[in-house]
Structure 1
C-alpha cells in the first residue's frame, strides 16, 4: 500500500534537489506548520504539560461537524450521460469532505487531486486529499494560487522503499506539466538512488515528463484554505484554524499538568517514623509509601502516626481553565459552551446569543470555502474528463448545475424563510414558479426557465394553462 510521507520533517536528504526547488514558505511558517501538526497529534503528557483535553482535535471536530451537520449536495441534471457522470464525481467528493476539511483546519491548507478510477465500465474521478505538510510548494502567483508543487508517495515492496516524486507546474497559458521520478532505498528515511518508473507495476505507464494537450489552468489540484489572514509572518501561506489560540492551548495544557500535580500532592497521607517503611532483616512487612510518609525527625521527637491531608485548590485551577477556554472560543469564533463549561454559560443568555452569532458566521465562512472548492473541483473533473475522453464534450457549468444545502442555522432558518415565501404566494405578491425556483435553487429569469419549473413541479397548473390556451409568460 502506498504511503504519503510528510515532507516537512526534512528527514529525506536531497529532497529539495530532487524536486528541483525548495518550499517557498519561510522558516517561521514551516516551524508553525510543524507545531500545528505536532499539537494535533500530541497525546502524551510530561512534567510541564498535559494535552489530555486534545483541544486542537476538539476544535477541528466541532467546526467540521457544525459545517456538515445537515449538508446535502445535488446536481440539477443527473439524467443525461454527462450529468450522471458528473454526479458520480460529486458523490465521490462528498465521501471525502470531512477528511478534506479537517486537514484544512489543522494545517491551514489542503488540496483535492482528482484520481481516475473504474466503476461499471466507466472512468470517474475520486479525490485524493493532500495536506500542507505532505507537499513542497515551490511557486505561488500574486494571489497565492499554486504554480508549482511537489508531492510524494512512498511504497514498501520486496525489502525496498520506493519514493515517487511528482512535480506539477502550470505555465502562464494554463498548460500543466508533470514530472515523475522514482527512487529506491533500503531505508524509509532515505531517498536512495533513481530507478526506472516501471520498477513498480502501477507506475509502469507513467511518463517521466508530460504536458497536457489542453490548458488545465492550474496544477491539477483544488485548494482548500482557511479564510483567515496569515498571523504568523503575513505571507500568502494559510494558517491553522487554531493558530491564534496556540498560546492559550499551551497555557491550558500547563494548567492541566498543574491541576494533576495538585491532586497528587493533595493525596491523603499518614506521616510515620521512617523505619516503619523499611523491610527489616527478618522480613518485617513494608508499608505502602504512597500512603505512609516516613520522616527521621519523628522518632527523635517521639511522635506517632499523624494524618496529612492538605486542602485542594481545585476551584482556582478550574476557574483558570474556564477562563482560558472562553478565550479560545473568543479567538476562534466559537459559540460559548462548545469548549467551556456549558452549565456556567447557561446563566448568561446574552453572552450565548452573541457568541452563537459569531459561531454561525465562522461556519458560514468555512462553508463558502467548501462550496467554492466543490465548484472548482467539478469544473476540473469536466476539463480532465473531456481531455481524456472519460465523458462526452457537452458543455457543463458548475455554477448552474451545483446545488448545496446546509440546513438550519443560527442566523438562517430556511424553514421560516419558506413559510414567509408561501405567505407571499398566497397573497399573490409572488409567482409560485419563483417560489419553487428559490426552494430548489433553479434559474427563473427567462420565460423558458419558468416553463421548465411548471413542467417539473406544477404539472396540473401547466395542463390547465394549456387547456385554457394561456401562453407561458
Structure 2
C-alpha cells in the first residue's frame, strides 16, 4: 500500500506548504511552515546535504548520523519488550522491533516518529516527514493526525490519499480522502478511492470505532523543548547544535585543504615537463613530483625549487576536536562519543559528569520510547480484537552507561592491587594527569611500586 510513497519521495512535508496542507485537511494544522522548513533542514543535514555543504569545498562529517546512532544504540542496548499473554501479538511486536534501531535514529533526527499497526499482523514506522499533526492533547500526543500516501500511475498521474485519524465524542474515527493531480507538487482535485486498485476496498468513512478511546498507534517524540516555533511538534536531537555542526564541517574542510595544499612538489622549468594534448597536468599525491615554472636567464637561474610548506594540521585537528566536544555537550552525549577519547582534556570528575548527562538524556529517550511502545501494543490489541480484554506488556532497559564506567574503574583498582597496573597509570587515566603530575601525587610509601 505504501510502496508508491517510498519509491517516489522520502519526504511528504517538502511536497506541500502549510497552505496546501490546511486546504487538504480543511482546518488549521499544528504543523506550521516554520516546522516544515525545519524538518526539511534536519533531513538534509542527516543525509549530508546541509546548506553549507552545497559545493565541493565543504563536505559533511555526518556528525548528525553519529549523534542519532549513538543515542539509539545507548537507548536500545539490551532492551526487552514483550507481550506476555498473547503469543500471536508478541510475534508481531518482535518482528516489528527488529528494525527499531534504524527507525529510532530517523525519529531522533526529525523529532518524532509514529509506530502503528497496519491491521492485525503488520506494522510500519512513519517519521515526522510523512505525517501531518493537526492537533495535540495535553500530554503532547497527536489527537488528530493525517497520513499522506502518494501513488504514481503512469508518468503524470499522481494520486494522494489522506488517511485522517481523530476523535468523535471520545471515540476513534478514521476517514480516507483521495485526490488526483498531474503534478507531484499540486494536490489536484477530489476523486474516488476506486481509481487506485490498491485503495478500492478502503472505506472513505468517516468510520467511528465505539469503545476505542485512544489513538491506534504509538507516538515517540524527543524529550526536547520546541524552540523552533513553540508548538507541540517534536524537535531534532541535534537542533541545538546546528551552528556547531556547521563549524565542525568547515573546520574539517580546512584540515583537508591543509593536507591538499601541503603536498610536496618540485618546481622545475616548464620545458622539463612532458605535455599531453598540448596541456600540462599537475598530478596528485605520490605522483605529484613536479610543477612547472617559466624560468628565464637572469638573476634567478635556479632550475629546481622544492615546495614543501610546514604543516599546520595539528592546530586544525585540535580545533576540530574542540568543536566535537562542544557538540557532545550541547546534544547531551558524553565526551569521547564523537570526539577522540585520547584528546579529551578533562578530569575524571568532568568525564563522569558527562556520562551522567548522557545517562539522563538517554533515560528520557527511553521513557518516551516506552510510552510509544505501550501505545503501539494497545493499538495492536485493537486490531486483533483484544483491546477490551487487555494485554500484559513489559518493557525494560539496561542502565549500562554509568554502570560500565564504575565497573571499569573498579576493575582498574583491582589491577592496581594485583600489581598489573601502576598507580601512575591509574591516576593518568582517571584523573587526566600527565606522568610527572601523577608521580608527584602518589604517597611516598607507594612510590616504590612505580
TM-score range (shorter-chain normalised) is 0.7 to 0.9
What corresponds to 1:24 in structure 2?
30
Which of 30, 42, 50 lines up with 2:59 in the alignment?
50
How far residue 347 of structure 1 moved from its aligned partner, in angstroms, is: 7.5
What corresponds to 2:334 in structure 1?
335
| 1:31-110 matched pairs, under 5 angstroms | 31-42=37-48, 46-51=55-60, 53-77=61-85, 83-110=86-113
Relative distance call for 1:347 and 1:195 in structure 2 (3 A) is: closer
What corresponds to 1:407 in structure 2?
398
Counterpart-to-counterpart distance in 1, 2:279 and 2:102 = 57
SS at the partner of 2:5?
coil
SS at the partner of 2:126?
strand
Give me the TM-score of the superposition, normalised by structure 1. 0.74
Give me the TM-score of the superposition, normalised by structure 2. 0.77
Task: Determine which structure has more spread, i.e. the larger CA radius of gyration.
Answer: 1
Q: Verify the 8 A CA contact 1:106 1:240 in the aligned structure 2.
A: yes
SS at the partner of 2:237?
coil
Q: Verify the 8 A CA contact 1:197 1:203 in the aligned structure 2.
A: yes
What corresponds to 1:112 in structure 2?
115
What corresponds to 2:412 in structure 1?
none
Relative distance call for 1:353 and 1:142 in structure 2 (3 A) is: closer
Counterpart-to-counterpart distance in 2, 1:173 and 1:412 = 48
Relative distance call for 1:277 and 1:193 in structure 2 (3 A) is: farther
Which of 246, 250, 265 lines up with 1:269 in the alignment?
265
Counterpart-to-counterpart distance in 2, 1:299 and 1:351 = 65
SS at the partner of 1:404?
strand
5+ residue gaps, structure 2 = 408-450
What corresponds to 2:12 in structure 1?
7
Counterpart-to-counterpart distance in 2, 1:3 and 1:149 = 18
How far residue 344 of structure 1 moved from its aligned partner, in angstroms, is: 2.6
| 1:41-440 matched pairs, under 5 angstroms | 41-42=47-48, 46-51=55-60, 53-77=61-85, 83-116=86-119, 124-159=120-155, 161-171=157-167, 173-277=169-273, 279=275, 286=280, 288=282, 291=288, 292-296=290-294, 300=298, 301-345=300-344, 348-382=347-381, 384-385=382-383, 390-391=384-385, 395-397=389-391, 401-411=392-402
Relative distance call for 1:215 and 1:166 in structure 2 (3 A) is: farther
Aligned residue pairs total: 391
How far residue 56 of structure 1 moved from its aligned partner, in angstroms, is: 0.7
Question: C-alpha offsets along residues 280-332 of structure 1, whole Å, 9 cap, x if unaligned?
Answer: 9xx89956465433344665533311001101110011000110111111111
Counterpart-to-counterpart distance in 2, 1:97 and 1:141 = 25
Q: Verify the 8 A CA contact 2:335 2:344 in the aligned structure 1.
A: yes
SS at the partner of 1:171?
strand
Counterpart-to-counterpart distance in 2, 1:293 and 1:361 = 57
Counterpart-to-counterpart distance in 2, 1:317 and 1:87 = 52
Name the stretch that deviates more: 241-250 or 127-136: 127-136
Q: Verify the 8 A CA contact 1:19 1:165 in the aligned structure 2.
A: no
Relative distance call for 1:379 and 1:181 in structure 2 (3 A) is: same
Counterpart-to-counterpart distance in 2, 1:266 and 1:179 = 64
Name the stretch that deviates more: 97-106 or 361-370: 97-106
How far residue 49 of structure 1 moved from its aligned partner, in angstroms, is: 2.1
Question: C-alpha offsets along residues 104-157 of structure 1, whole Å, 9 cap, x if unaligned?
Answer: 1011111122211xxxxxxx2432211111122232345433233222212234
SS at the partner of 2:319?
helix
Q: Verify the 8 A CA contact 2:216 2:376 in the aligned structure 1.
A: no
Relative distance call for 1:256 and 1:412 in structure 2 (3 A) is: closer
How far residue 353 of structure 1 moved from its aligned partner, in angstroms, is: 2.1
How far residue 73 of structure 1 moved from its aligned partner, in angstroms, is: 1.9
Question: C-alpha offsets along residues 394-442 of structure 1, whole Å, 9 cap, x if unaligned?
Answer: 6215xxx2222323523469xx9xxxxxxxxxxxxxxxxxxxxxxxxxx
Relative distance call for 1:20 and 1:373 in structure 2 (3 A) is: same
